[in-house]
Chain A
Amino acid sequence: MDLLSYTPAWISTHGPALLVVLPLMMAVLTAILPSRAAIGGKLAWLAVLATSGICLAVAVSMLLQVMAHGPIDYAMGGWAPPFGIAYRVDALNAPILVLISAVAVLCTLYALPSVDAEVEPKKRAAFYAAFLVSFAGLLGMVITADAFNVFVFLEVSSISTYVLVAMGASRDRRALTSSFNYLVMGSIGATFFVIGIGFLYMQTGTLNMMDMARILQDGGVDSKVTKLAFAFILVGLGLKLAMFPLHTWLPGAYSYAPSFFTAFMAATATKAALYLMLRFSFMVFDPSWAFIGKAVMILVAALGLLGMMAASLQAMFQNDLRRVLAFSSIAQVSYMLLGIGMATTLGLSAGYLHMLNHAIIKGGLFIAAGAFWYRFGITQVCDMRGLGKTMPWTMAGFTVLGISLIGVPGTVGFVSKLALVQAAALHGWWWAIGAIVLTSIMAIIYVGRLIEQAYFQDPPKKGAVTVSKNEAPLMMLIPLWIFAISAIVFGINAEWTTSLAAAAAELLSGGPDTIVPHMGGH
Chain B
Amino acid sequence: MITLFEHYNYAIVIILMMIGLYVVFSSANMIKKLVGLSIFQTSVFLLYITMGKVTGGQPPILDPAEYESHGGGHESAPAAAHGSGHEAAQASHDAVQSAAHTADVIYSNPLPHVLILTAIVVGVATLAIGLALVVRTREMYGTIEENEIDELDYLGNLEGHAG
Contacts and interface: CB of A to CB of B under 8 A. Distances in A.
Interface in A176-198: 176-177, 179-180, 183-184, 187-188, 190-191, 194-195, 198
Interface residues of B, number: 40
Interface string B30-46: 10011001001100100
Interface in A346-384: 380
A198 B133 contact: no
Contacts of B137: 176-177, 180
B136 interface: yes
Contacts of A176: 133, 136-137, 140-141
A194 B41 CA distance: 10
Contacts of B134: 180
Contacts of A191: 40-41, 44
Interface in B19-78: 21, 24, 30, 33-34, 37, 40-41, 44, 47-48, 51
A356 to B, nearest CB: 30
Interface residues of A, number: 35
A169 B30 CA distance: 17
Given A184-B24, A205-B83, A223-B87, A198 B48 contact: yes
Contacts of A202: 51, 85-88
Q: Chain B contact residues: over half helix, strand or loop, or mixed?
A: helix
A384 B131 CA distance: 37
B85 A205 contact: yes
A202 B85 CA distance: 5
Contacts of B82: 205-206
A202 B44 CA distance: 13
Contact of A194 (B119, B125, B146): B119
Majority SS at the chain A contact face? helix
A183 B41 contact: no
Interface in A138-180: 148, 151-152, 155, 159, 162-163, 166, 169, 173-174, 176-177, 179-180
Contacts of A163: 129
A198 B153 contact: no
B15 interface: no
Contacts of B149: 177
Contacts of A203: 85, 87-88
Contacts of B122: 151-152, 155, 159, 190
B79 to A, nearest CB: 10
A188 B112 contact: no
A225 interface: yes
B40 A188 contact: yes
Interface string A44-55: 000000000000
Given A188-B37, A202-B51, A194 B44 contact: yes
Given A176-B141, A203-B88, A224-B87, 11 more contacts: A159-B125, A176-B136, A177-B146, A177-B153, A184-B37, A188-B21, A191-B41, A198-B48, A198-B115, A223-B87, A319-B161
Interface of A: 148, 151-152, 155, 159, 162-163, 166, 169, 173-174, 176-177, 179-180, 183-184, 187-188, 190-191, 194-195, 198, 201-203, 205-207, 223-225, 319, 380
Interface of B: 21, 24, 30, 33-34, 37, 40-41, 44, 47-48, 51, 82-88, 92, 111-112, 115, 118-119, 122, 125-126, 129-130, 133-134, 136-137, 140-141, 146, 149, 153, 161
